[in-house]
């Protein structure tokens, strides 16, 4: 490119440093991203920024994507290019922004990890040796029985629970919304066992369902650590976190019912698109069954 074009980049970076007061790290990121664009323009024999068109930006981003750059990194590069062109337009050095409508390829959505039914049964088979383990099994059963979030379980009070009707009320779920959830018979039994030995809470304004040895409401980190310890006791070596129990609840329920709308309601998802990720897990399960069972799908045939 022309020396003027390179100087324009330097001027832009100087503005970010002096006027915008961005950190050195951020400015260096802009510099690296724009240097990639300069290299591309040199390869394409483009000499000035006004000559770059939308097709050039698309080609540049496609090449960067093929080189292994993630969607997140491509989004950052596009943001740097848009900001640079906005600077050029403000100073009337170019007429338009060729990167304005260009979008990075979507990031492949990671499927949540789950435990299968056999693994869940192995995890929840009691064998408790202390009051704390009785409490812990009640927590883990409730996670899997009702698909609770970590924060929702921690916030439960005893009066949110109705063991006679086998249900509980999440008073303030995500987004401040309440919902009523069924509680399975194994979870009911585990909760009853815990309530039979539960020491009194020291909290005066509420009566937390799950408390520590000091009578305080059990916090998020403590619940996570207790699940980790329980898994070690059960010989489960892979990392298991509370949300994995929620994912397992959703996946197993969807596999059995195929009722996406009901699973959405139980999980407390505002949009069904959030719940639809479990249909991918379900299809993955069906694909595995197909590969193992269909006589002309087996690789060794």
3-class DSSP string for 78-128? HHHHHHHHHHHHHCCCCCCCCCCCCCCCCCCCCCCCCCCHHHHHHHHCCCC
Residues 198, 135: contact at Cβ < 8 Å? yes
CA 145 to CA 100: how far, in whole Å?
Answer: 48
Tens-digit pLDDT profile for residues 178-232: 899 999 999 999 999 999 999 999 987 889 999 998 999 999 999 999 999 999 8
Work out the average pLDDT over 36-40. 95
pTM of the model: 0.58
Residue 269 falls in the annotated catalytic set: yes
Do residue 65 and residue 121 come from a single domain? no
Query: Residue 97 falls within a domain, yes or no?
Result: no
User: Residue 170 is inside which H or E element, if any?
Assistant: strand 167-170
- Which of 278, 280, 285, 296 is catalytic? The answer is 278
- Which of 113, 149, 234, 241 is catalytic? The answer is 149
Please check the confidence at residue 95 and state whether its pLDDT lies above 80: yes
Do residue 241 and residue 164 come from a single domain? yes
Query: Residue 111 falls within a domain, yes or no?
Result: no
Do residue 36 and residue 141 come from a single domain? no
- Which of 76, 166, 243, 285 is catalytic? The answer is 243
Number of folded domains that form the chain: 2
Q: CA angle 53-55-103, nearest 5°? A: 105
Boundary residue ending a domain (90, 108, 130):
90
Residue 174 falls in the annotated catalytic set: yes
**Average pLDDT of the chain to the nearest whole number:** 87
- Residue 232: CA count within 13 A, CB half-sphere: 6
CATH of the domain at 7: 1.10.150.130
Tens-digit pLDDT profile for residues 254-290: 888 888 888 888 888 878 777 777 766 555 555 565 5
Boundary residue ending a domain (47, 73, 90):
90
40 vs 238, residue with greater confidence? 40
Do residue 150 and residue 280 come from a single domain? yes
Residue 110 falls in the annotated catalytic set: no
Return the exposure string of 92-101: e unless at least 16 CB atoms fall within 10 Å of the residue's CB, then b.
ebbeebbbee
Range of the domain at 165: 117-293
Query: Residue 167 falls within a domain, yes or no?
Result: yes
- Which of 20, 172, 174, 280 is catalytic? The answer is 174
- Residue 84: CA count within 13 A, CB half-sphere: 31
Do residue 261 and residue 124 come from a single domain? yes
26 vs 172, residue with greater confidence? 26
Q: What is the pLDDT of residue 172?
A: 73
Q: How confident is the model at residue 113 (pLDDT cuts 50, 70, 90)?
A: confident
Query: Residue 60 falls within a domain, yes or no?
Result: yes
Do residue 131 and residue 261 come from a single domain? yes
Residue 246 falls in the annotated catalytic set: yes
Do residue 27 and residue 71 come from a single domain? yes
3-state secondary structure at position 173: coil
Please check the confidence at residue 1 and state whether its pLDDT lies above 80: no
Query: Residue 216 falls within a domain, yes or no?
Result: yes
Provide the strand spans (E) within the chain: 161-162, 167-170, 179-182
Q: What is the pLDDT of residue 296?
A: 55
Cα 60 → chain centroid: 30
Tens-digit pLDDT profile for residues 70-91: 888 999 999 999 999 999 999 9
Residue 252 falls in the annotated catalytic set: no
Do residue 137 and residue 283 come from a single domain? yes
Do residue 128 and residue 69 come from a single domain? no
CA 50 to CA 58: how far, in whole Å?
Answer: 16
Query: Residue 237 falls within a domain, yes or no?
Result: yes
Query: Residue 110 falls within a domain, yes or no?
Result: no
Do residue 163 and residue 24 come from a single domain? no
- Which of 64, 135, 246, 252 is catalytic? The answer is 246
How large is the greatest C-alpha to C-alpha distance in the chain, in angstroms? Answer: 80
Residue 113 falls in the annotated catalytic set: no
Do residue 127 and residue 19 come from a single domain? no
Sheet holding 179-182, edge to edge: 161-162, 167-170, 179-182
Query: Residue 38 falls within a domain, yes or no?
Result: yes
Do residue 157 and residue 30 come from a single domain? no
Work out the average pLDDT over 23-48. 94
Q: What is the pLDDT of residue 301?
A: 44
Boundary residue ending a domain (90, 125, 144):
90
CATH of the domain at 258: 1.10.443.10
């Amino acid at each position: 490119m022309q020396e003027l074009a390179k100087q324009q980049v330097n001027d832009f970076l100087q503005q970010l440093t002096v006027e915008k007061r961005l950190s050195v790290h951020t400015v260096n990121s802009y510099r690296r991203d724009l240097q990639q664009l300069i290299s591309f323009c040199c390869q394409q024999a483009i000499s000035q920024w006004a000559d770059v068109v939308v097709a050039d930006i698309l080609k540049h981003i496609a090449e960067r994507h093929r080189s292994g750059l993630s969607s997140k990194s491509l989004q950052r590069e596009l943001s740097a290019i848009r900001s640079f062109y906005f600077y050029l337009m403000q100073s009337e050095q170019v007429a338009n922004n060729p990167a304005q409508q260009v979008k990075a390829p979507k990031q492949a959505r990671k499927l949540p990890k789950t435990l299968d039914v056999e693994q869940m049964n192995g995890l929840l088979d009691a064998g408790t040796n202390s009051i704390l383990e009785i409490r812990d099994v009640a927590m883990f059963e409730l996670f899997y029985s009702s698909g609770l979030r970590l924060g929702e379980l921690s916030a439960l009070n005893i009066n949110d629970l109705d063991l006679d009707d086998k249900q509980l009320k999440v008073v303030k779920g995500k987004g401040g919304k309440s919902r009523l959830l069924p509680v399975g018979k194994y979870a009911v039994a585990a909760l009853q066992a815990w309530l039979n030995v539960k020491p009194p809470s020291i909290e005066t304004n509420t009566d937390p369902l799950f408390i520590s040895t000091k009578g305080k409401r059990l916090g998020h980190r403590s619940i996570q650590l207790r699940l980790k310890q329980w898994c070690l006791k059960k010989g489960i070596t892979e990392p298991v976190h509370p949300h994995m129990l929620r994912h397992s609840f959703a996946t197993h329920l969807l596999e059995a019912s195929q009722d996406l709308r009901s699973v959405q309601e139980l999980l407390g998802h505002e949009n069904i698109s959030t719940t639809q990720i479990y249909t991918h897990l379900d299809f993955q399960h069906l694909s595995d069954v197909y590969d193992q069972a269909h006589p002309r799908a087996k690789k060794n045939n």
